[in-house]
Amino acid sequence: QSVLTQPPSVSASPGQTVTISCSGTSSNIGNNYVSWYQQVPGTAPKLLIYHNNKRPSGIPDRISGSRSGTSATLGIAGLQIGDEADYYCGTWDDSLRATVFGGGTKLTVL
Amino acid sequence: EVQLVESGGGLVQPGGSLRLSCAASGFTFRTYNMNWVRQAPGKGLEWVSFISGGGGSIYYAESVKGRFTISRDNDRNSVYLQMNSLRDEDTALYYCTRVPDNEPGGDYWGQGTLVTVSS
């Protein structure tokens, strides 16, 4: 059971917008930056969002992140077939003194 | 270009040991913290251990505390994970990641090295 809670799966059609939630507590999301990672099957995870809402170089602006209280959200607009992947949130937990990840959300683009 | 290349994985019996290595290049290694993160087959990401740039701060997941030891050699631009008393549940793909301040998961990930614990 993961410290951060994500929905197991989401789906949407090409061109649509999808959001993926990540729920935590005051000791993790509520007090630390949140990151989001994309993992295409068979490949290593890739950083999509850091510091709650910043995009690394090369990540398009149709990818967005936000944090409110003890929850965070990843948004992907203008969905493409290539967006099909597993998505993970992650942050530091002050109580556990550990990096914690969500259980992952499988995005299906129908 | 930042590169992280893990090695040292393999098949080991329960109770055995392995030492993983991660060779880094393309950045000033000693100025970055480093993580090991693992992923069991078909499962999600699990953070394993963290070491600060100078090696003075180290953290472990509860699941590996007392069995795994992280270390680094800043002259060799490498980070290591010594794994002892291995269990079936340690079977996973082990990634090393570069960890900037306040980015605890890692901004760059290697391709991973597979550890299989089985009799």
Binary contact (A103, B44; C-beta < 8 A): yes
| Contact assessment for residue B14 and residue B86, using Cβ atoms and an 8 Å cutoff | yes
| Contact assessment for residue B117 and residue B13, using Cβ atoms and an 8 Å cutoff | yes
Residues of chain B found within 8 Å of residue A87, distances taken between Cβ atoms: none
Binary contact (A44, B95; C-beta < 8 A): yes
DSSP state letters, A22-33: EE--TTTGGGS-
Q: CA-nearest residue of chain A to B39? A: A44
pLDDT confidence of residue B40: 97
pLDDT tier, B105 (very low <50, low <70, confident <90, very high otherwise): confident
Q: CA-nearest residue of chain A to B111? A: A44
pLDDT confidence of residue A76: 97
Q: Region B27-50: what's the mean pLDDT?
A: 97
Rounded distance between C-alpha atoms, residue B49 and residue B108, angstroms = 16
Q: Region A7-26: what's the mean pLDDT?
A: 97
From the list A33, A50, A100, the residue facing B47 with the nearest CB is A100
